[in-house]
Amino acid sequence: MVLKIPPPILMLMALIVMSGCNYLLPWWQFNTLRVIAIPLIIIAMISGFLSVLALAKADTTISPFMPQQAARLVTRGIYQYSRNPMYASLLLLLMAAVFIYGELSTMLGIVFYVVVINHYQIKPEEKALLTLFGKEYAQYCRQVRRWF
């Protein structure tokens, strides 16, 4: 892995970007929409839990820094809908934050998170998993989306 920052810390960094945008770049403010934010938070928590549970049940690594140590390719449970449900759950939390802030410019935090996590985390993971699991992983990538 090129980047050694845990994905939850990247999400917190994105929240800092969002906070800065809220105060320094007010483009378009709207009423906070907790009616949207709360379900997003609940879905994020459930999907994050199911992601970790699926990897633990498969007795494979949960560490984002050691994909080369994956004991098996997990394609069941929540992983049949997303190749990266843990990262997607963090993204859902950031989406909820946009509705809590009530400021359009906070979307820049989401852009920051997606660009950084895709380039420095997901792509190196995909390369490692392709090396480990070959055609099986390539087929999985063709069938299941990276995010949602």
Most confident of 20-29, 62-71, 139-148: 139-148
Q: The pTM is what? A: 0.92
Q: What number of other Cβ atoms are within 10 A of residue 122's Cβ?
A: 20
pLDDT for 66 equals 82
Spell out the domain ranges in the chain: 31-143
Average per-residue pLDDT in the chain? Answer: 93
pLDDT for 3 equals 62
Joined tokens for residue 93: 């939390």
Backbone angles phi, psi at 11, to 5 degrees: -65, -40
Backbone angles phi, psi at 103, to 5 degrees: -145, 125
List, in order, residues 6 or more apart from 42 with CB less than 8 Å away.
none
Amino acid 110 reads I
Summarised one tens digit per residue, pLDDT across range 24-43 is 988 888 888 899 999 999 99
Amino acid 65 reads F
